[in-house]
Structure 1
Amino acid sequence: MPAVEHVRLGRKRTLPPCPNPLFLQWLSELRDQAAEKGQKTQYVYQKAISSLKKYPLPLQNAREAKILQNFGDGICKILDEKLQRHYRENGPDAPIHSLPSGVTVAPSRRSNNNLAQPTKQPSRKEREGGRRKREYVPQKRSGGYAVLLTLYRESQVPGGKGFMFKLELQAEAQHLSDKSFSVPDLGSKYTAWSSVSTLIQKDLVQKTHNPARYSLTELGLALAQRLEDGEREQEEDRRSDVREEEEGSGPGVVDLTAEEDEKKKRIEPIAGPTPAAYVAQRGSEVPGVNSSEKPQAAETKTRPAGGCLYPGSYDIVLCVDFIETTGGSTACKQELVKELQRNGVTFDVRKLNVGDFLWVAKERVAPVSGQLRAPPSRELVLDYIIERKRMDDLCGSIIDGRFREQKFRLKRCGLQKPIYLVEECGSAAAHLSLPETTLQQAIVNTQVVDGFFVKRVQDVKESVAYLTVMTRYLTKLYQNRTLVCRSRELEGDGQNEEECGGREREDPSCSLISFPEFNQGAVKNKCQTVREVFARQLMQISGLSGDKAVAILEHYSTLHSLLKAYEQCPSDTEREKLLSSIRYGKLKRNLGPALSRTVYQLYCTKGALS
């Protein structure tokens, strides 16, 4: 019989250690830092660690790691930067396949893998009482740093409101951050504002109300106070350094470049009036600028945080909703673009959350040398917005209820001059689901009852001709006007038609909304208040228009207040007539008993409505 082979019992053979412990240590540090900040990149680093542990050969640089799974350009670039820093600190011949002294290899806490990963030697405090969690402190000149400092300074203002709105906070914090709060860096989708979610998660900032209000928590207040103290110390050090330089320079120091600068100023040609020169000439007409100020002071006013645009510093641009150029009848929508180009109209296709066409005053921004893209331009929305309707679209919107809802949203969008552009399309209305008389009556009601300006045209060419004429008219109307940015969030919708409409010919300045705020406020499915939901419910009742809903809301702002008023009525007859005497619209007509009875039956009838 053949000899029985002895079976070796015991533990599994241990795998050899990773031949690239330095790269493994750096990846572990990156993973732990991402985990502390709550970033999802921690999982990417963990996958890269697993791949590196399985690779049996030593790597000379991070570029060679691209052959491994889960190693992309970003991770390789970070590792190469750390490798170059390692060579600078330890010399060009520093070993990279062994750990520096004082660093040992410990089992990974995040993986059940038996492979080891390098960690730093724990200190005595960590051995005795466990590892202490490091306090989160935002990096200097980062978005979180700027937000904390701005909210702290706002909280120290005597009589302040104790909170800040989003747009107000972004405007005040921008000068404290190196990154933009509104425009992401090239190749990234994150802005400085993205760090606010981390501050809320760390319980440093709290977000309440709608529109959102941001304020500091107790932890955030303590951290922001330390950051502010550090800012003051650095400012004092900077001033003392400047003072020492001035004292050390003495009267004997002569600037040899001053004469050359004077010659350059004499030689440089003067290329027409700049916005700063305009402010210096017309300082008394621009709010916040005194005519007695020096030209240097006027130059600082050319781009204030509030967002003024002075004559000659902006262009009037037509904005076209992308739905008007894509989908549907391709031939008609291509014809729209071609006609605009043929007429020489400056237009921009973008997503509009309300309306089909509007105009913006777009700031002229010169490209900066050394940068691929020019800085972002500020855009203020003019008070004119157009909703375009073909007869077939009008018919469909009346049937599915979009027509009333669109008019309601146009009235609440914050622009004072809404326009309905109706394309009658000849005899096409005779073949639609609704009679032509019904469609014509809807158009008349839009103009007479709802107060919209209605422009009737025959086809796409006439629509483009009207847009061209309006663009040229607005360009001429606003060419000598100073445009001031206002915020609906801070000031409400109190800018009535007299401010930007009735006094347009007398007042050279105009108060307008920025395009990001306008478009964000017009989102169809945004978070709504109880009052807005109640208004939408009322408008679903047949015969109850937007004006009638607004009149009811003036007396009963929520459904709860209306039901409470019904409970106080002694009889059903009085409940049915509760809303009948409410006046609505310009003519101040009563709602009437029929509509009042319908509302009462809707909210107070138990069971199914008959």
Structure 2
Amino acid sequence: AEAPPAAAGPLAAAPLARCRPSGAARLVLLLDHREVGAGREHAARGALVADLASKLGADAVEGRSLPLGDVTWVWREDSPGGAADAPAREFVAGWVIERKTFHDLSSSIMDGRYEEQKCRLLEAPGLDGVVYLVEGQGPLFGVGELTAAERARPAGNRGFGQRLLNHSLPTTTLSTTAAHTQLISGFHVVHTTSTPHTVTFLLALHRALADFGPQGLGARGESDGAVLYRDFAERTRKTCHSRIFEAFGRMLRVVPHCGPEATEALVDEFQTPQAFAAALRDCSDTDLLLRLKARRGGRAPVSAGALAACRELFVA
């Protein structure tokens, strides 16, 4: 596939060197196993690894903390080609999967993670394709509409806090986002209805990659080779500083009157929640607005109402 144009930024700084495996290599599916949220989700990831390993073989599946995406593949050399105890080299197989439920997709759009993840995937080196996999019962592209009983189920007797935490965007918005992801960003959008359906898709893609073979060997011997996985991981790994930026931005996005432009201005000016809280304690709204105006060429995208709401969150 034709690579997307290079974007400005640290991830697109310079192309990574490509090399060929020195001998035979085997395909390994890597599944992100980081504990995110409740223990139930972590247990589900462990069960998914076990299910895939039972079908592909224990040496073909591995849980690992991935720098980007939820599933990827590497070609691992059978022999290091050097010292007997040297680690085998791993080569990027060219495909990454970002896996989300409908609720995950909705939340990531609302808090800005969707755009951030999409940009990182577009800038990632050594990829032939990206799959945006949406898992769960629900409509996508207008297919698989919910039944009347399923549409009536969510409201129930949940309290306000539960309704807020479980708020989702309209299905038309999710379908539009999926279409944009496929047609504009060039990703492959796949909808699976359940975890077993997802496993079936992963098995099919794994076997297709195995049949295709590694870059630089066999039928693909004329290629320039593949990017080393360690270089890929280093290039795409988010720094601690960028994680603080993202967390601060997500906190601001839930504040009333604090839209994307106001969030960008506040994150750009104060960098961390601690610095912003100190400024709110030490400065009046007028002083803060003047400071933001000076930084933004005489225009402050943050309203007095947004600052008042921020005081309740960061200073109270």
Q: TM-score, normalised by structure 1?
A: 0.32
Counterpart of 1:354? 68
1:440, CA displacement in angstroms? 2.0
Equivalent runs, 1:278-293 vs 2, <5 Å: none
* 2:175 partner letter: Q
Counterpart of 1:463? 198
1:456, CA displacement in angstroms? 1.2
* 2:216 partner letter: T
Q: Distance in 1 between matches of 2:124 and 2:99?
A: 16
1:447, CA displacement in angstroms? 0.9
Would the aligned equivalents of 1:307 and 1:378 in 2 still touch at CA under 8 Å? Answer: no
% of aligned pairs identical?
29
Q: Alignment partner for residue 482 of structure 1, among 199, 216, 222? A: 216
Q: Distance in 2 between matches of 1:399 and 1:439?
A: 11
Counterpart of 2:89? 378
Equivalent runs, 1:420-499 vs 2, <5 Å: 420-426=132-138, 427=146, 431=154, 432-433=166-167, 434-478=169-213, 481-482=215-216
Counterpart of 2:79? 365
Equivalent runs, 1:26-65 vs 2, <5 Å: none
Count the aligned residue pairs: 217
Deviations, residues 157-194 of structure 1 (Å, cap 9, x unaligned): xxxxxxxxxxxxxxxxxxxxxxxxxxxxxxxxxxxxxx
Sort the Cα spacing of 1:462 and 1:510 in 2 relative to 1 into closer, same or farther, 3 A.
farther
Sort the Cα spacing of 1:516 and 1:437 in 2 relative to 1 into closer, same or farther, 3 A.
same
Q: Distance in 1 between matches of 2:229 and 2:18?
A: 14
> What value does the CA root-mean-square deviation take over the aligned residues?
3.8
Would the aligned equivalents of 1:367 and 1:374 in 2 still touch at CA under 8 Å? Answer: no
User: Does 1 or 2 have the higher relative contact order (CA < 8 Å, sep 6+)?
Assistant: 2
1:306, CA displacement in angstroms? 7.8
1:404, CA displacement in angstroms? 0.8
Q: Check if 1:522 corresponds to 2:236.
A: yes
Deviations, residues 562-594 of structure 1 (Å, cap 9, x unaligned): xxxxxxxxxxxxxxxxxxxxxxxxxxxxxxxxx
* 1:461 partner letter: P
Q: Distance in 2 between matches of 1:605 and 1:386?
A: 43
Q: Check if 1:344 corresponds to 2:56.
A: yes
Q: Alignment partner for residue 397 of structure 1, among 108, 116, 119? A: 108
Equivalent runs, 1:537-552 vs 2, <5 Å: 540-541=260-261
Query: SS state of the match for residue 374, structure 1?
Result: coil
1:327, CA displacement in angstroms? 3.7
Q: TM-score, normalised by structure 2?
A: 0.58
Deviations, residues 431-478 of structure 1 (Å, cap 9, x unaligned): 452222222222122112222111111111111111111111111101
Unaligned runs of 5+ in 1: 1-209, 212-304, 484-503, 529-539, 545-599
1:329, CA displacement in angstroms? 2.6
Would the aligned equivalents of 1:419 and 1:453 in 2 still touch at CA under 8 Å? Answer: yes
Would the aligned equivalents of 2:32 and 2:63 in 1 still touch at CA under 8 Å? Answer: yes
Deviations, residues 201-233 of structure 1 (Å, cap 9, x unaligned): xxxxxxxxx99xxxxxxxxxxxxxxxxxxxxxx
1:363, CA displacement in angstroms? 0.8
Counterpart of 1:320? 31
Q: Alignment partner for residue 419 of structure 1, among 114, 121, 131? A: 131
Q: Distance in 2 between matches of 1:374 and 1:425?
A: 47
Unaligned runs of 5+ in 2: 1-9, 12-16, 139-145, 155-165, 243-259, 265-292, 304-316
Q: Distance in 1 between matches of 2:208 and 2:19?
A: 24
1:332, CA displacement in angstroms? 3.1
Deviations, residues 235-284 of structure 1 (Å, cap 9, x unaligned): xxxxxxxxxxxxxxxxxxxxxxxxxxxxxxxxxxxxxxxxxxxxxxxxxx
Would the aligned equivalents of 1:419 and 1:454 in 2 still touch at CA under 8 Å? Answer: yes
Q: Check if 1:407 corresponds to 2:118.
A: yes
